[in-house]
Structure 1
Amino acid sequence: MGRISRLWRAGIAVLPVAALAVVGAAPQALAIDTPAIVVQDGVTQPVFGYADAIRERLFIDSTFDSDKDGLRDIIAFDVMRPKATANGLKVPVVMDASPYYSTVCRGNESECKADLDGDGLLDKWPLFYDNYFVPRGYAVILLDMVGTNNSTGCPTTNANEDNLSAKQAINWLNGRATARNAAGQVVKADWHNGKTGMIGKSYDGSLAMSTAVTGVKGLTTIVPISGPTEYYDYVRSNGVITRGNSYVASLANTVTNPERRDYCKPTRDAMAAADGDETGDYTSFWNERSYVKKVPNMTASVLLYHGLNDDNVRPDHFSKFWYALAENNVPRKLWLSQEGHVDPFDSRRAVWVNTLHRWFDFWLQGVQNGIMEEPRVDLERSADVWETYADWPVPGKAETEILLQPGTTGAGGLGLVPTAKPVNGAFQDNPTQSQNTMILNPDTVQPNRLAFLSAPLTAPLHISGTPVVQLRATADQTDTNLGAILVDYGTAERVNHRASGEGIITLETSDCWGETSPTDDGCYKQTQKRVATSDLELVTKGIMDAQNRQSIRIAVPLVPGEAYNYSFPLLPEDYVFEPGHRIGVIIVGSYSQYSSQADQTRANIEVALKSSNIVLPVVGGTAAAHAAGL
């Protein structure tokens, strides 16, 4: 008896790939050996083999020449697909394009691609996507970004050559490009159903987004995990350099195979010469490394994940992209966790795998499982405590102005420490001041900061969105930096995202997600949340170069002693200040633990207190702020 006949008699729904609907004909009317996707309980089932899956390594000519050698770069990618695709099964693709497969490698256990027997085909496939999805009727492609692993050329750190690498494979899948195997034979994707989903964390996530904003036909959905969306924001913030000089070139060096690093040095040197490190301003160099403004080109849906406490790819990357998706009505869902730069597979494993499975089934297999009718947002409020919302920012939030004022706390704003009534708050920029010095002992006057505190809150205060600090200030130098920190002063158990592991502890026990072969399994070490009781929480922060007060593109020196208005965003957040806690806003000059570029002017800065405030995105707006005692 054929597979379909057996499954039919067992009461399992069978979806022929062409129709993707429950078969209603009598069993004898079916072709006994017709390969088909199987759906039970609303999800595709693992009815195809893994050990016997077809494995290929293919090469495709690109449309660019990253190393300027006069030859178009060749993009390499590894394919795994069910054996049944050789007998008529049409399947979609799950693709992870990455620069990391032979250097940093992937996942919490740093898995690299590996050809163990030297036959030119992968034996070890990083991550669980192949183990889990191939048996369920998907093909998996792991693509080597230009200049990495088996691809030729040189990495360009999110420039066009990087960004267009995966597009070449999607064009091939849809019959618009030619791929060959190692023997030079042309290989066609006659097994593909026309739909591809891209997924990946960090750099891989940025490659998924950069491919989607090209509008390439055949890319149906993307799942970016903690990926940069604006590379300027990855290495800059409002005119301030936040990572070391020539970071763009340095990262390109990291992902290049060691034996090719000398060869690719001219490419890196060209990037270093063009990145504008001498000013930190936004230049044309960053335009091709910007995805947010290209969102209107997208046709792919988005399942977006980010850690609210990610200090590597900071949360403004997800928020700017998310806001643009909303403006353009892109079908979307969002997960926000309390961890740092952590994959949801290591944060909320079982629920994530189930969600990802249903997401791909809906968008790539056409399974009507209702996932798009569910709440749009999953948000981790505290360790392993998740809430759902209709959208983000949470509906009902309103931009609420909280004064930074002289005098006592709790009188409609945050009071300056001490509670005397000066007209201005004065402090001196200190480029060596530590973050702990900035935020600890808020009731104590310190010479290199201003501390504003609320009275103990009388009700919870929920913020959801992007806070903005608005200062009226003078400096006695032609330049200075400005920084602001929003702090929750109150004892609570919290995810300890600043310790090793960025909020998780990797255990010695493992669990398995998918099928196995003699050389590859789907088993991974389990994790648990790292929690600690602390007296405060740094909620969010922001910085700017005072010379970029008008624009990140143009620096305008200060006139010493002249007052200017400064407005700059903090990183987005979704946070609840509990009753009895105090809200603190710390104002500083340089912020060495946020920025690699401390301003050395050591300017004396005065803030006009009656003209300065923080605008908080308060759920419930002014009424909720007043109820909490602000």
Structure 2
Amino acid sequence: MPIRTRGTRTTYRSLVLAASAALMAVSLAPAHAQPAPGTNRGDADRRESRPIHSYEKAIRESVWVDIRLDGDGDGRSDRVAVDIVRPSEPVHRGQKIPVIMDASPYYACCGRGNETQRKTYDAAGRPVQIPLYYDNYFVPRGYAFAAVDLSGTNRSDGCVDIGGRQDVQSAKAVVDWLNGRAAGYTSRTGSKLSSAGWSTGDTAMIGKSFDGAIANGVAATGVEGLKTIVPIGALSSWYDYYFAKGAPLFDSGPNWLAENIESPAAREPCQAVKKRLVDDAPRTGNHTRLWHERDYVRAAHKVKASVFAVHGMQDLNVRGKHFGQWWDALAAQGVERKVWLSQVGHVDPFDFRRAKWVKTLHRWFDHHLLGYDNGIDDEPMADIERAPDQWTTDRHWPPRTTRVTTLRPAPGARPGVGTLSQRPARPGARETFTDDRTQHEIDWAAAVDRPTPAKVGFVSRPLSRPLRLSGSGTVTVTATPTTTSAHLSAVLVDLGPDVIRDYAAVGEGITTLPQRSCWGASTPGDSACFKETIARTKAVQQTVFSRGWADLGHHAFPGRERPLTPGKPHTITLDLHAADHVVPAGHRLALIIAGTDRHLIEPPATTPRLTLDLARTFARLPIVGGSRAFERATRGPVLVPTTSPTRPDAVAGPRAVRPIPGASR
């Protein structure tokens, strides 16, 4: 159990003394943790690594690894900085240990975690504070922790490459060095070699957002020695971070991000790299070679590491498509997988399910890096948050009874308010809306039962039994525009009262408290104590649980824009973000189609009016139980009330998100 404290600094010294005393007491027991994995059957049968090593006496060192690329064009191979914390006791016993690694561009510029921690160093340049709890918790348990500065950031050479070859190679080279395949040095420019002879070479990569993207990218190289990755709210394709089928998701591109995270030393020599990030990432949304290089999904067949993915189903920064397409590609290759899906936005599980997360992560690393037979590989594949702090599990995800089911919109009694069922609309059925860049998905959902000019909505009958959607879906739209450009949005809505995490508010579903809990050992310069959080909730009348967008100009060729012909129908398929949502009995399922989703996509150059051909518009949704489950749920008597006894408010609209994945939390 964690040690609970209040305030920010009051117990650091006492914690260090208590931790030291505990370690001395434990060290009287037989030294059984962290021998070289697999040396005997007894090691594999152990259930849990123990904190028997001194964190205070841990070795803290910096190594610069040659990445065999010259990104800054100075005629020398770039070196990336790796700050390492590892227990000293295994060295004296001749034991080798595995490594947990977080490769990040944010250690100096923007910080890591809910408290925006940055690396700190002593006067000699040795690491003092390493952000987050990984070193505090895992080093006493016999692991080394390596915090890698990506190319062009903090103390590393080279240029920021925003998920490209230089970024991925920054971390891959460290895995190679840990396995004796790359050169390391004791300084940034010196010639003295540094060996990783203390390491087994077995490595795990973990990280949120950009950091998790690099873990995905390194795994997609198939590098030997990388045993597992834990991507949290992570990107799987950088094109899909900046565009959705050509619709721009931000008003800037990767060059803006590069300028904000690069080290001062990299600014001048890296001008050519940043120019490429502009020239090869056109605002048209065309899919260029730059984006192809940064698509890790296409290389999923190379992945050898197991994957423990975590994603917020209301993450409006790194959206659910990233997780969904990565998960599906890994599944097709038979990669060992585990997943947590929460109701939060872009939030680390340490800040929404802390105790369970640390315990689960500990067991995951023990199994995959130390070979311990602790049973985690036999447990349910998925943990799903159904309501704030209420979780269920699934043996497989999506459940094996999930079937892609086609639902079709049709006109209703009033214009713009239609029906959603499995029956196709009659030929010639039409609905029309006008793009309104001042409205967003919450506005549309709140008005789904009223004719409004900015959207069209299609609603199922009230459900007689719960209906579960699990996985990724699509919406195919045939629309005739009045202008040469148009953007489309499609959202799935659960119509009915509920209490959800307030993902659209500051904190994205959590509230940070002043109280702290401690996870591992501390030193005066690196505390293991972090502010606790609670769920931030809101009562709502409707919940948007999946969405997707597209630029209609990309209808003919994915990734290549063409001007639209006004008055001519065009067909395009929008990818809905992966989710797992249960629409309760008494609620209704709605599909809304509209134009610009304010704050989530940028508007087109024109203000189009679009006419939908309903006979050629449909949704293909992952329904547990398939078409039969939908049919059963939408017929028969409704046995629960469809209205709330109180009058909950609608959740606020989505906030504009800075295009810095994971830099602030």
Counterpart residue number, 1:136: 141
Task: Please say if 1:321 is aligned against 2:321.
Answer: no
Match of 2:36 in 1: 17
Residue 31 of structure 1 corresponds to none
Distance 1:404 1:89, change over 3 A: same
Q: What does residue range 528-539 of structure 1 map to in structure 2 within 5 Å?
A: 528-539=534-545
Paired positions, count:
607
**Bigger shift: residues 602-611 or 505-514:** 602-611
Q: Which residue of 1 aligns with 2:305?
A: 300
Q: Which of residues 567, 577, 580 in structure 1 aligns to 2:573?
A: 567
State the distance in 2 between where 1:147 and 1:384 align.
Answer: 40
Question: Residues of 2 paired with 1:323 and 1:540: CA distance?
Answer: 17
Is 1:243 the counterpart of 2:250? The answer is yes
Q: 2:500 corresponds to which letter in structure 1?
A: R
- What aligned pairs does 1:35-46 form with structure 2 within 5 A after superposition? 42-46=47-51
Name the structure 2 match of 1:413. 421
Taking the aligned partners of 2:399 and 2:575, their CA distance within structure 1 comes to 18
Structure 1 match to 2:642: none
- Per the TM alignment, residue 154 of structure 1 is displaced from its structure 2 partner at its CA by 1.6
Q: Deviations over 1:136-174 (max 9, x none)?
A: 111111111000111012201111001110111111111
1:66 to 45, 51, 71: 71
* Aligned equivalents of 1:104, 1:503: Cα separation in 2: 21
Structure 1 residues 451 and 38, CA gap change in structure 2 (3 angstroms)? closer
Tell me if the contact between 2:382 and 2:394 (Cα under 8 Å) persists in the aligned partners. Answer: yes
Q: 1:534 Cα shift? A: 0.8
- 1:497-536 deviation digits (Å, cap 9, x = unpaired): 1111000010111111101123212110111111111111
1:180 Cα offset (Å): 1.5
Q: Select the residue among 116, 137, 159 that pairs with 1:110.
A: 116
Distance in structure 1 (CA, Å) of the matches to 2:35 and 2:462: 62
Is 1:145 aligned to 2:153, yes or no?
no
1:543 to 545, 549, 555: 549
* Equivalent position SS for 1:43: coil
Q: What is the aligned-residue RMSD (CA, Å)?
A: 2.6
Please tell me whether the aligned partners of residues 20 and 365 of structure 1 are also in contact (alpha carbons under 8 angstroms).
Answer: no
**Quick one: structure 1 residues 341 and 157, their matched pair in 2 at CA, closer, same or farther if it must change by over 3 Å?**
same
Question: How many Å separate the matches in 1 of 2:598 and 2:28?
Answer: 67
What letter matches 2:36 in structure 1?
A: V
Taking the aligned partners of 2:441 and 2:422, their CA distance within structure 1 comes to 20
Deviations 1:373-420 (Å, cap 9, x if unpaired)?
A: 11111111111111111222222111112220013699762999xx99
SS in 2 for 1:554: coil
Aligned twin of 1:97: 103
Q: Sort the Cα spacing of 1:16 and 1:168 in 2 relative to 1 into closer, same or farther, 3 A.
A: closer
Q: Does residue 219 of structure 2 align to residue 212 of structure 1?
A: yes
| Counterpart selection for 2:615 from 610, 613, 617 | 610
**Aligned residues of 1:39 and 1:45 also touching (Cα < 8 A):** no
Deviation of the 1:563 alpha carbon: 2.5
Q: CA deviation at 1:561?
A: 2.1
Matched, 1:480 2:486: yes
Identity of matched residues, % = 38
In the TM superposition, 1:435-446 aligns within 5 A as: 435-446=441-452
Match of 1:57 among 59, 62, 86: 62
Alpha-carbon distance in 2 for matches of 1:229, 1:496: 26
Mark the CA change 1:22 to 1:523 in structure 2 (over 3 Å): closer, same or farther.
farther
Say if 1:201 and 1:224, in contact at 8 Å, map to a contact too: yes
Q: Can you give the 5+ residue segments of structure 1 that lack an aligned partner in the other structure?
A: 24-36
Partner of 2:130: 125
SS at match of 2:120: coil
Instruction: Give the letter aligned to residue 141 of structure 2.
Output: R
In the TM superposition, 1:178-257 aligns within 5 A as 178-182=183-187, 184-245=191-252, 247-257=253-263
Superposition map of 1:358-397 within 5 A: 358-397=363-402
Q: Which residue pairs with 1:514 in the alignment?
A: 520
Deviations 1:310-331 (A, max 9, x none): 0000011011111111111111
Q: Which residue of 2 aligns with 1:433?
A: 439
Residue from 282, 285, 288 that aligns with 1:283: 288
| SS across alignment from 1:44 | coil
CA distance 1:95–1:397, change in 2 (3 Å): same
Q: Which residue of 1 aligns with 2:600?
A: 594
Q: Is the 8 A contact 1:415 1:453 kept in 2?
A: no
The alpha-carbon distance between structure 1 residues 84 and 413, as it changes in their structure 2 partners (threshold 3 A), is same
Amino acid at match of 1:575: H
Q: Distance in 2 between matches of 1:556 and 1:410?
A: 31
Does the 8 A contact of 2:411 with 2:418 survive in 1?
Answer: no
Q: 1:63 to 1:259 in 2, by over 3 A?
A: closer
Q: Post-superposition shift, 1:8?
A: 11
Are the structure 2 counterparts of residues 22 and 329 from structure 1 closer, same or farther at C-alpha, using a change threshold of 3 Å? closer
- Determine the C-alpha separation between the residues in 1 that align with 2:220 and 2:286: 24
Tell me the secondary structure at the aligned position of residue 128 of structure 2.
coil
Q: Which position in structure 1 is the counterpart of 2:590?
A: 584
Q: Which residue of 1 aligns with 2:647?
A: none
Tell me if the contact between 1:13 and 1:39 (Cα under 8 Å) persists in the aligned partners: no
Q: 2:564 aligns with which of 527, 537, 558?
A: 558
Whole-angstrom distance in 1 between the partners of 2:539 and 2:423: 27
**Alignment gaps of 5+ in structure 2:** 1-21, 636-665
CA contact (8 A) 1:457 1:580 kept: yes
Task: Give the match for residue 34 of structure 1.
Answer: none
Secondary structure of 1:407's partner?
strand
Matched AA of 1:44: S
Q: Distance in 1 between matches of 2:272 and 2:116?
A: 29
Alpha-carbon distance in structure 2 between the residues aligned to 1:12 and 1:387: 38
Contact 1:307 1:336 in 2 (8 A): yes
What amino acid is the match of 1:120? G
1:29 is aligned to none
Q: How far apart in 2 are the matches of 1:296 and 1:150?
A: 33
Rounded Cα–Cα distance in structure 1 between residues aligned with 2:34 and 2:67: 36
TM-score, length basis structure 1: 0.91
Q: For 2:499 and 2:423, locate their aligned partners in 1 and report how far apart those are by CA, in whole Å.
A: 27
Residue in structure 1 matched with residue 530 of structure 2 by the alignment: 524
